[in-house]
Chain A
Amino acid sequence: MSLSFLLLAVAALCALSFYFGRQRAVALSGGRHSNLHSLPAHYGAYTAAWCGIPALFLILIWYMFQGTVIETLIISDLPAEIVNDSGQLSLALNSISLIAAGNGEHLSVSPEIIDAGRRLGNLQTVANVALVVVILSAAVLGLAVSYRKIEAEMRARNNIERIARYVMIGCSAIAILSTVGIVFSLLFEAMHFFTKVSPLEFLFGLEWSPQTAIRDDQVASEGAFGAIPLFAGTLLITLIAMCVAVPIGLFSAIYMGEYASPKFRAVAKPALEILAGVPTVVYGFFAALTVAPFLRDNGAVLGLDVSSESALAAGLVMGVMIIPFVSSLSDDVMSQVPKSLRDGSYGLGATKSETIRNVIFPAALPGIVGAVLLAVSRAIGETMIVVMAAGLAANMTANPLQAVTTVTVQIVTLLVGDQEFDSAKTLSAFALGLVLFLVTLGLNVFALKVVQKYREKYD
């Protein structure tokens, strides 16, 4: 029986136990629900939970340990000379599992290995059957025990509450643990990279050219892993994007929040937020196919030498992408400035713009700074637009008309295509990713702190 059938069976048992539990509660109540502590459905859910959750938990545990346990059993029967040599051992284990799967006919291996293969096959069959038996009996046991525990005074409702809490704790633990897992995998691969290239060279080197020889006899450069040009490119594009997004986003937020009539706001605000829903790849080809050629052609008219993949094009489009982000966040913080402050200012005879400039904006400033920082971290991590419009050349330049490259672009190019997975070239992607992660994490934490501090002031 495969896993999906097992899960289906457990689900069916759960449904069944819900029905049984409910029936029993109804029978105990003697037709009047007020005789019960909880509603009949609570008793049903209680039995279903005791039937399903331990079974699912057991399945999880089983799969975590089945592989290791069986492997230990197999290894314990192998001759010592194989076990003591890790290279031979992994080769042997490979052949054993091939034989167990029935694909080992062409292998020329010793009889012990063939024996072990057969044994592995048997063990796996036994394990599968055992799993089904154990799980189903656990489910039935849970059903039976909880069914017998149902009494009129039993607090099924409170029990359900507790079970629900554990389920939710489990879900949040999964979310948090997977983030932690991702961070650690980044960290380990990056450490691996730093054994090949020194962190100092990586963080402060001025030249980026990650081409290394794949084979020893290949003619290729040594490879240079100075990431400064990438950071510089990222910063340049982020700066351009912010120059677009901050004023436009801020002013549109002020207009929407303070000046626009409710009718206009009801139409314009969602329209602005649609910008946030456009897939970034669409922005990407808009940047590459419309904005970049436009800039190049008009630059030529003005006598400027604009390359066809320029920081300017990518930055402008990225800025447009971030406008709704800045505007909706700063709209939020500005609308939180209490009405009493506005009244105070109007009551002194200030005009609308004086009130905004002298009272609302300064009061909202910390929150706006937080919003801008969040937008910056968004811009730094943005990938698609820069992949399509910024280019690959790792130029160290402050000229927005030239092509630059960013951290995200390099990560994409380093990992796309056939690559050797332990070369400095591929590993450098992880180091870049780690730096990117740390920078955006730092910015986010800082920005959220700022926003939070500001919120506390008026609540």
Chain B
Amino acid sequence: MAAVSQSAMTAEPSVEKPKMTARNLDLFYSDNQALFEVNLDIAEKQVTALIGPSGCGKSTFLRCMNRMNDTIDGVTIKGDVTLDGRDIYDKRIDVVQLRARIGMVFQKPNPFPKTIYDNVAYGPRIHGLVNSRDELDEIVMTSLERAGLLKEVKDRLQSPATGLSGGQQQRLCIARAVAVSPEVILMDEPCSALDPIATAKVEELIDELRSNYTIVIVTHSMQQAARVSQRTAFFHLGKLVEVGETDQIFTNPKDERTKGYITGRFG
């Protein structure tokens, strides 16, 4: 029981008006427990970084926040996750609409084998967000602009998205997520498949997106967490060990394990 009291002690929901919250979140893959009593607040229009060694449950936690774990067989979840104060695991919640409000960008760029235009237009089309071709064009253009990709692709919107470079593909995936006008964007190690230059571009983009969206990013790179986030949460063995302002976590961690991880002693 020591572990439980520890996580309860360190996970201080210190955000005033959280966009999303997790309370006493337990998650099981069949019989294996992957998350233990996670309590975390996500501040609105900020970047929250989730860090921790491999297998610590940070990606699993991220996927709980837009119910992507629903698509995996044998997952059971206890506890609450809320968006604007409403439980997203409530039976009355429409998962499809929830995911339109909470977008996601994945580890590996996964553009659909369609044209660049159709990739970005995919979300608006299935959700019926537009009434005319002109409106759709506008959404596609603004989304590409916001993802910092418009300049590079505006002459070849009708060519296949799979022909873009890895970094461009990842920014296209961000544009695709932005096109649905989500409130929260979840990013699961969005730069792990990219080279340093593409990574710098995506990080820059994340910083710009912060003014409009609430962002949660899982990352393996502590430098990245320090560069892009305002708050950082450290996960270890399925537990949330420590969360706080990014500066504080990296300069003055309270927990020994956090200190050990960020100074490179394990992980």
Once bound together, how far apart are the Cα atoms of A374 and B103, in whole Å?
A: 41
Residue B123 interfacial (CB < 8 Å): yes
Chain B residues within 8 Å of A273, by CB: none
Residue A155 interfacial (CB < 8 Å): no
Once bound together, how far apart are the Cα atoms of A351 and B96, in whole Å?
A: 6
**Known: A344-B173, A358-B126. Is A350-B112 also a contact (CB below 8 A)?**
no
Chain A residues within 8 Å of B66, by CB: 347
Task: Identify A347's interface contact among B73, B97, B103, B114, CB under 8 A.
Answer: B103
Once bound together, how far apart are the Cα atoms of A349 and B181, in whole Å?
A: 12
CB neighbors of A among B111-144 (8 A): 111-114, 122-123, 126-127
| Shortest distance between the CB of A454 and any CB in chain B (Å) | 10
Chain B residues within 8 Å of A350, by CB: 96, 122-123, 126
Residue A91 interfacial (CB < 8 Å): no
Chain A residues within 8 Å of B173, by CB: 344
In the complex, are the beta carbons of A349 and B110 less than 8 A apart? no
Residue A446 interfacial (CB < 8 Å): no
A137-162 vs B, Cβ < 8 Å mask (1 yes, 0 no): 00000000000000000000000000
Chain A residues within 8 Å of B257, by CB: none
| B contact residues, total (Cβ < 8 Å) | 27
Q: Which of A262, A341, A348 has the most CB of B within 10 A?
A: A348
In the complex, are the beta carbons of B180 and A349 less than 8 A apart? yes
In the complex, are the beta carbons of B106 and A349 less than 8 A apart? no
Once bound together, how far apart are the Cα atoms of A448 and B231, in whole Å?
A: 53
A323-355 vs B, Cβ < 8 Å mask (1 yes, 0 no): 000000000000000101111111111110010
Residue A442 interfacial (CB < 8 Å): no
In the complex, are the beta carbons of B177 and A347 less than 8 A apart? yes
CB neighbors of B among A239-268 (8 A): 262
In the complex, are the beta carbons of B113 and A348 less than 8 A apart? no
In the complex, are the beta carbons of A341 and B112 less than 8 A apart? yes
**Known: A343-B71, A354-B126. Is A348-B180 also a contact (CB below 8 A)?**
yes
What residue in chain B is nearest A342 (Cβ atoms)? B71
**Known: A359-B112, A362-B113. Is A347-B96 also a contact (CB below 8 A)?**
no
Residue B4 interfacial (CB < 8 Å): no
Residue A363 interfacial (CB < 8 Å): yes
Once bound together, how far apart are the Cα atoms of A265 and B100, in whole Å?
A: 31
In the complex, are the beta carbons of B71 and A348 less than 8 A apart? no
Once bound together, how far apart are the Cα atoms of A371 and B6, in whole Å?
A: 57
Chain B residues within 8 Å of A343, by CB: 68, 71, 104, 106, 110
Residue B45 interfacial (CB < 8 Å): no
Interface residues of A (CB under 8 A from B): 262, 338, 340-351, 354, 358-359, 362-363, 457
Known pairs A345-B112, A349-B127, A350-B96. 12 more at Cβ < 8 A?
A340-B108, A341-B110, A343-B110, A344-B176, A346-B71, A347-B66, A349-B97, A349-B126, A351-B126, A358-B112, A359-B112, A363-B113
Which 9 pairs between the two chains have the least Cβ-Cβ distance? A347-B104, A349-B100, A349-B99, A340-B110, A344-B110, A348-B123, A349-B96, A363-B113, A354-B126
Q: 22 A–B contact pairs at CB < 8 A?
A: A340-B106, A341-B110, A341-B113, A342-B71, A343-B104, A343-B106, A346-B68, A347-B68, A347-B99, A347-B104, A347-B177, A348-B99, A348-B103, A348-B122, A348-B180, A349-B97, A349-B126, A351-B96, A351-B126, A362-B112, A363-B113, A457-B113
